[in-house]
Amino acid sequence: MIGRRTESATLDRLFESGCAELVAIYGRCRVGKTYLVDETFAGRITHIQACRSFTSGYE
């Protein structure tokens, strides 16, 4: 992956921490968030739950 070394290292560190971790990965559409997770955890996890946030228009 090009330009994602820091993000991948952070995810690796959290994965290896031995503690329960919650990570929210957010950003513009089509910038490689899912690819980052897929490549970082290839062969180490078997399920990824992808969520989308929808704005209802109500505030």
Q: pLDDT tens, position by position, for the chain (59 residues)?
A: 788 999 999 999 999 999 999 999 999 999 999 899 999 999 988 776 777 666 655 55
Burial class (CB in 10 A: 0-12, 13-18, 19+), 16: exposed
How many domains would you assign to the chain?
A: 1
Determine the structural domain holding residue 13 and report its residue range: 5-40
* Of the candidates 16, 37, 13, the residue with the CA atom closest to the CA atom of residue 25: 37
Q: What is the pLDDT of residue 2?
A: 83
Q: What is the pLDDT of residue 59?
A: 52
Look at residue 17 and tell me if it is in a domain.
yes
Look at residue 18 and tell me if it is in a domain.
yes
For residue 37, give every residue at least 6 positions away whose Cβ sits within 8 Å of its Cβ, in sequence order, or none.
11, 25, 48
Considering the entire predicted model, what is its pTM? 0.73
For residue 54, give every residue at least 6 positions away whose Cβ sits within 8 Å of its Cβ, in sequence order, or none.
none
Rounded Cα gap, residues 40 and 54, in angstroms: 26
Q: What is the pLDDT of residue 11?
A: 96
